[in-house]
Structure 1
Amino acid sequence: MLLTPSERATYKTEIAHRLSPLSWSEVDVILDEFGANTQDMWSGDVFSYVVTMIKGLGDLPLRQLAAHLNIETGENSVLDPPVFWIEGQLWVFLSHLSKHKIFASELQAALATYGICSFVAHEDIEPDAEWQEEIEKALRTCDALVALLNEGFNQSTWTDQEVGYALGRGVPVFSVRLDIAPYGLFGKKQAFNGKGKDAASIANELYDAYRKHPKTRDKLADIVVDRFCNSGSFAEAKANSKQVEELEVWKSEYKSRLRDAVNNNGQVKHSWGVPEKIEAVIKKHDPDAVKEDFDDKIPF
């Protein structure tokens, strides 16, 4: 039976979202097996790449690829991003026990300073919203999950299911050891010692892991560049430039975007030493780049 336009749209959107957390090589292996196109060079993100590569895929291979990724059509399968996710940020699900929601909220606020939007069920769901449905939406669309391992975490059916869902999707699953150690299927995953640390320290460690992880570093690199280009103060420009210096990923369009920010964003242009730092970053990643002159570097 032929797919309806709605079913094709659902499959393509869901497939792109399911493959987005994977590495480029993993994506190409899967696309190639199902007869989709692949390319050696791509300047955009994984989502746009997958959408473009499966654009001409026939109904049968599209069905087969969707089945491989456990995607179903129908009302419940249509991607409906939760309203609490912030566009242009990394989306992280914080799995925690309800009695520890205060610390989860503190970590949520600390992560936000790095361009990471995190979901805390007991804070982000509207009172009249279907609680389980919103949690499912968050799990289906998050870029990563963090398990806050307080005493009793392994006895909660909800937290175990949240971790299992994320593991099944193949998104990065990190744990923060607070009272107990990682266990079960995610016992071998990356863990952080959170005992005696405040939310800011843990957030910094998580950010550092996400900027290096092959499944999150591309998106986070875009976020870092966006935040730098939109710096709203001298202090922001300085802080954001440090993150630009630490980029694990370099894309060709970054050179023009960073230089445009230096030339046209006054908070960047007049932040002491920042233009020189950015030019050094460009030179590091693109040794053949011609150095540009920057005028009026003295802040006022």
Structure 2
Amino acid sequence: MALTRKDRFNMKTQLLEGLGTLEWDPTRVNVLLREFELQPFTGQFDHPSLDEIIADVTDEKLTELYSVVMGVDIDAVVDVVESVAGDGVWKPDYARVFLSHSAKHKKFVGEVADELALVGIHGFVAHDTMAFSKPWQSQIEQSLRSMQAFVAIIHPEFNSSPWCQQEVGWARGRRVPFYAIRYGTDPAGFIGRDQWPSATNQTPAQVATIISSWVSALPELGAAVTEGLFESLRTAPSFIDAGTAAKRIAALGSLTADQWKRLDATYWSNDQVYGGALPSNALEPFYRENQRQWPPAKP
């Protein structure tokens, strides 16, 4: 398989994340490295780190390493690379959150995902987000491998669903940020010991607010959410959607110099932004509070 630089970067990143889990203790890691004729990892500061050890491996060896560590057939690695890079499964530049749910409540969770998209978060909903040209099970597995966070929405049917339980186990095994929302029942199994918020009788928009507030507070995902917000504003199909994204951007309080430049350019790139009252009402005080020119200069 011919890999691009982006492919290599994403595969090596996922590979290092996989080797960092409890499943891969130092002894097992070194057995793997010796099998691939790579130097051992000692963990000492004056010896090569894991990323240095795999830095120059061939594409063929990288693909096989990835297959072993991630537990996927080599024939499926191409699909995994696509999902990690954001092709097909995830929207580019959005925070990637897997929404685990009972199939009976797919419509409700789909509406939650629609609300999350307005604030820069792609909520993966099985069968709604997947491409029809690829096997559905492999796409779910790809999204589980490449998700950045996991949210379980616990309707009464969730606990009896083998698919939901497998998704929970996958998320726990990958040790990604994990969150659950009770919607009429308490979760069973390992996640049942924690106190999770209840959202019984709340609307999809209200549930999305709970999720987005949690995701935005995650140190590892804050930057991804900000990127997603800018992308959501740039592609907003209506002034209402643009207003929602603009409010969330203004709620950030401050931006870096590069982010201000991007916001200036984004403002003029979409007529639903510069021509809409709602986004302007949100952005004008934000600009003035930060002593920025309003409206921003056209690029």
- Structure-2-length-normalised TM-score: 0.67
CA contact (8 A) 1:217 1:248 kept: no
- Partner residue in 1 for 2:186: 181
Instruction: Find the partner of 2:228 among 223, 227, 237.
Output: 223
**What letter is aligned with 1:74?**
I
CA contact (8 A) 2:118 2:245 kept: no
1:161 Cα deviation (Å)? 1.1
- Aligned-residue RMSD, C-alpha: 4.3
**Partners in 2 of 1:246 and 1:115 — Cα distance?**
13
Verify: 1:156 aligned to 2:161, yes or no.
yes
**What letter is aligned with 2:11?**
E
**What letter is aligned with 1:14?**
M
- Partner residue in 1 for 2:75: 75
- Structure 2 runs not aligned, ≥5 long: 18-41
CA contact (8 A) 2:120 2:228 kept: yes
1:198 Cα deviation (Å)? 1.4
Q: 1:278 to 1:177 in 2, by over 3 A?
A: same
Instruction: Find the partner of 1:268 among 258, 263, 274.
Output: 274
Verify: 1:194 aligned to 2:191, yes or no.
no
**Partners in 2 of 1:274 and 1:8 — Cα distance?**
37
**Partners in 2 of 1:294 and 1:7 — Cα distance?**
42
**Partners in 2 of 1:249 and 1:191 — Cα distance?**
31
- Partner residue in 2 for 1:207: 212
Q: Which moved more, 1:170-179 or 1:256-265?
A: 256-265
Q: Which moved more, 1:201-210 or 1:111-120?
A: 111-120
Residues 157-178 of structure 1, C-alpha deviations (whole Å, 9 max, x = no match): 2211111112222222211101
Q: How many residues align structurally?
A: 261
1:103-122 to 2 correspondences below 5 Å = 103-122=108-127
**What letter is aligned with 2:286?**
K
**Partners in 2 of 1:102 and 1:294 — Cα distance?**
41
Residues 204-256 of structure 1, C-alpha deviations (whole Å, 9 max, x = no match): 11111111112321100111233345556655554333211222885441122
- Partner residue in 1 for 2:22: none
SS in 2 for 1:193: coil
Overall identity of the aligned pairs, in %: 25
**Partners in 1 of 2:2 and 2:95 — Cα distance?**
30
CA contact (8 A) 1:144 1:172 kept: yes
**Partners in 2 of 1:192 and 1:157 — Cα distance?**
23
**Partners in 1 of 2:274 and 2:4 — Cα distance?**
46
- Partner residue in 2 for 1:277: 286
**What letter is aligned with 1:13?**
N
**Partners in 2 of 1:111 and 1:242 — Cα distance?**
14
**What letter is aligned with 1:274?**
L
- Partner residue in 1 for 2:12: 15
**What letter is aligned with 1:275?**
E
- Structure-1-length-normalised TM-score: 0.67
**What letter is aligned with 1:140?**
R
Residues 114-151 of structure 1, C-alpha deviations (whole Å, 9 max, x = no match): 23322222434456642321211121122222212122
Q: 1:260 to 1:10 in 2, by over 3 A?
A: closer
Residues 233-291 of structure 1, C-alpha deviations (whole Å, 9 max, x = no match): 655554333211222885441122223445776633883473341342xx3xxxxxxx4
**Partners in 2 of 1:106 and 1:292 — Cα distance?**
36
- Structure 1 runs not aligned, ≥5 long: 21-31, 38-52, 284-290
CA contact (8 A) 1:228 1:244 kept: no
**Partners in 1 of 2:14 and 2:195 — Cα distance?**
23
SS in 2 for 1:181: coil
